[in-house]
A and B are shown apart, each in its own frame.
Chain A
Amino acid sequence: MTRYIIRRGIQSLLLMWVATIIGFTVYQLAPGGPLQFLDDDPKKSQEDVNRLERLYGIDRTLPAQYIAWAFGEDWLPATPYWRSGRCLADPTTCVRGIVRLDFGRSFHYQGQSVIGLIMERIPATFLLAFSSLLLSVVIGVPLGIISALYRGRWPDNVVRVTTVLLNTVPEWWIGLLLLIILGGYFGLVPLGGMQTIGDGSLLDRLHHLILPATVSAIGGWIGFSRILRFEMLDVLSQDYVRTAQAKGLSRKAVILRHVLRNALMPFVTGLSGIFLLVLSGSVLFEIVFSWPGMGRLTIDAINSRDYPLMMALFVISSFLGILGVLLVDILYSVVDPRVRYDGHMGS
Chain B
Amino acid sequence: MAEQSLTLAPQKAEADEKVIRPVQSYWGVVWQRLRSDWITMAALALLLFMVTISLGAPWIGEHVLGFSPTATNLRQRNDPPTWAAAAWPQFQAFTLSCQTSAHCDWSQWGSITSAAVEGLGTCLTAELGGCHWMGTDDAGRDVLTRGVYGGRISLRIGLWVAGVSMTLGVLMGLISGYYATTFIDDIVNAIIMTLGSIPLLFLLIILSRIFQPGPEGLAILIGLFGWMGLSRLIRGQIFSVRERDYVIASRAIGTPAWGIMFKHILPNVSSIIIVSAVFNIAGAIIAEAGLSYLGVGIGPPLPSWGNMMQGSLGNFTDAPWLVITPGIFIFLTTLSIYLLGDGLRDALDPTLQRTS
Contact residues of A between 186 and 208, Cβ < 8 Å to B: 186-187, 191
Instruction: Given A169-B330, A303-B295, decide whether A184 and B201 contact each other with a Cβ distance below 8 A.
Output: no
Type the 1/0 row for A283-313, where 1 means its CB is closer than 8 Å to any CB of B. Answer: 1100100000000001100110100001101
Residues of A within 8 A of B198 (CB): 15, 19, 22, 317-318, 321-322
Interface flag for A233 (CB, 8 Å): no
The reply to whether A173 and B309 form a contact with Cβ atoms under 8 Å apart is yes
A238 within 8 A of B: no
Q: Decide if B205 touches A176 in the complex (CB within 8 Å).
A: no
Is A168 a contact of B282 with CB atoms below 8 Å?
yes
Chain B residues closer than 8 Å to A325, beta-carbon distance: 197
Distance (Å) between the CB of A29 and the closest chain B CB?
6
CB distance from B51 to the nearest CB of A (A): 17
From B116-124, B174-182, B315-323, the one touching the partner chain is B315-323
In the docked arrangement, what's the CA distance between A22 and B199, Å? 13
Residues of B contacting A276 in the complex (Cβ-Cβ under 8 angstroms)? 196-197, 199
| Complex Cα spacing A18 to B196, Å | 13
Closest partner residue, chain A, to B313 (CB atom): A287
Let me know if B199 and A170 touch, CB within 8 A: no
**B199 and A321: CB pair below 8 A?**
yes
Partner of A187, one of B98, B211, B312: B98
Complex Cα distance A344/B47, Å?
41
B61 within 8 A of A: no
Report if A165 contacts B (CB, 8 A). Answer: yes
**A184 x B95 contact (CB < 8 A):** yes
Q: Once the chains bind, are B330 and A186 in contact (CB under 8 Å)?
A: no
A185 in contact with B317 (CB, 8 Å):
yes
Is B209 within 8 A of A302, CB to CB?
yes
Q: Chain A 46-87 against B: per-residue CB contact (8 Å), 1 yes, 0 no?
A: 000000000000000000000000000000000000000000
Q: Is the CB of B294 within 8 A of A284?
A: yes
User: A243 contacts the other chain (Cβ, under 8 Å)?
Assistant: no
- Given known pairs A164-B338, A177-B327, A303-B295, the reply for A298 and B205 (CB within 8 Å) is yes
Type the 1/0 row for B279-292, where 1 means its CB is closer than 8 Å to any CB of A. Answer: 00010001001100
Which residues from chain B contact A287 at a C-beta distance below 8 Å?
A: 293-294, 313
Residues of B within 8 A of A311 (CB): 206
CB-CB under 8 A from B309, the residues of chain A are: 173, 176
Q: A236 at the A/B interface (Cβ < 8 Å)?
A: no
Q: Which of B207, B286, B338 contacts A26 (CB 8 A)?
A: B207
- Given A26-B206, A186-B104, A283-B205, also A318-B199 (CB < 8 A): yes
Cβ of A1: which chain B residues have Cβ within 8 Å of it?
A: none
Cα distance A168–B339 in the bound complex, in angstroms = 10
A170–B324 Cα distance when bound, in Å, is 12
Q: How far is the CA of A325 from the CA of B199 in the complex (A)?
A: 11
Which of chain A's residues have a CB closer than 8 A to the CB of B98?
A: 185-187
- A169 to B282 CA separation, bound complex (whole angstroms): 10
Which residues of chain B come closer than 8 Å to A310, judged between CB atoms?
A: 206, 209
Given contacts A29-B210, A276-B197, contact A168 B331 (CB under 8 A): yes
B203 lies within 8 A of A314 (CB): yes
| Chain A residues near B296 (CB-CB < 8 A) | 302
Give a binary string over B177-213; 1 marks a CB under 8 Å from any A CB, 0 the rest.
0000000000000000110111111110111011100
- A314 contact from B99, B194, B202, B313, Cβ within 8 A: B202
Cross-chain contact B201 with A280 (CB below 8 angstroms): yes
B223 to chain A, nearest CB (A): 17
Q: How far is the CA of A305 from the CA of B205 in the complex (A)?
A: 12
B82 within 8 A of A: no
State the CA gap A186–B102 with chains docked (Å).
10
Measured between beta carbons, the chain B residues less than 8 angstroms from A172 are 290, 293
Minimum CB–CB distance from A239 to chain B (whole Å) comes to 22
- CB contacts under 8 Å to A, within B205-255, are 205-207, 209-211, 232
> Which A residue sits closest to B286, measured CB to CB?
A170
Pair B294/A299 contact, Cβ less than 8 Å: yes
The answer to whether A283 touches B294 (Cβ under 8 A) is yes
| A173 x B317 contact (CB < 8 A) | no
Q: Mark A17-40, 1 if CB is under 8 A from B, else 0.
A: 011001000100111000000000
How far in angstroms is the closest Cβ of chain A from B111? Answer: 17
B334 at the interface (CB under 8 A from A): yes
Which B residue sits closest to A273, measured CB to CB?
A: B196
How many Å lie between the Cα of A203 and that of B59 in the bound state?
55
Q: Does A347 contact B (CB under 8 A)?
A: yes
Assuming A26-B210, A318-B199, is B95 touching A186 (CB within 8 A)? yes
Q: How far is the CA of A206 from the CA of B335 in the complex (A)?
A: 34
Q: In the bound complex, do residue A302 and residue B206 qualify as a contact, i.e. CB atoms below 8 Å apart?
A: yes
Task: Give 20 new A-B contacts, CB below 8 A, not counting A168-B331, A186-B99, A276-B199.
Answer: A18-B194, A26-B203, A29-B210, A164-B339, A169-B327, A170-B286, A172-B290, A177-B327, A185-B95, A186-B104, A276-B197, A280-B201, A281-B201, A283-B205, A284-B290, A298-B205, A299-B294, A302-B296, A318-B199, A321-B199
Nearest 3 Cβ contacts at the A-B interface = A184-B317, A187-B99, A280-B201
A-B contact pairs, 19 of them (CB 8 A): A15-B198, A18-B194, A22-B198, A26-B206, A26-B210, A168-B338, A170-B290, A170-B293, A170-B330, A180-B320, A180-B323, A184-B95, A279-B199, A283-B201, A283-B202, A283-B205, A302-B209, A311-B206, A325-B197
Chain A interfacial positions (CB closer than 8 Å to B): 11, 15, 18-19, 22, 26, 29-31, 164-165, 167-170, 172-173, 176-177, 179-180, 183-187, 191, 276, 279-281, 283-284, 287, 298-299, 302-303, 305, 310-311, 313-314, 317-318, 320-322, 325, 347
